[in-house]
Amino acid sequence: MVEAKKYAQDISTDLRQTKIYAENIKATNEITLLVKWDKYSVPFLFSTNGRHTYSYREAVIDGYLIDHDPPYLIKTKLGEEGIEWKKEENPKYTIRKLS
């Protein structure tokens, strides 16, 4: 559920109208409620005033949203050990085409 606010209004702490609406949604012929999330009939509440303040990724990292497809951490030898070159060393390398 998204609540749109005036551009000048601070949205960081104000979800009051959204919460009231989300608590009072009732099933009808057009709407089927599958599950309740705490006391709300929607999985998330979101408020915006059109200004960018908080990204989806930031909300997931900070624990405010749960991403159903979390990123995978891929460990490699290079990632674990890193690369070290001496000051005047010219390392040999090979360019390979990825297929």
Enter the pTM of the model: 0.38
* Contact in structure between 48 and 5 (CB atoms under 8 Å): yes
Mean pLDDT of the chain: 76
Q: Is 65 exposed, middle or buried (0-12, 13-18, 19+ CB in 10 A)?
A: middle
The model's pLDDT over 30-45, given as tens digits with 9 standing for 90+, comes to: 676 667 777 777 777 7
Q: What is the mean pLDDT of residues 14-41?
A: 74
Is the pLDDT confidence value at 47 over 80? no
Reported residue count of the chain is 99
Helices and strands (H, E) in the chain, number of each type: 3, 2
Write out pLDDT tens, residues 48-67.
777 767 777 888 888 777 77
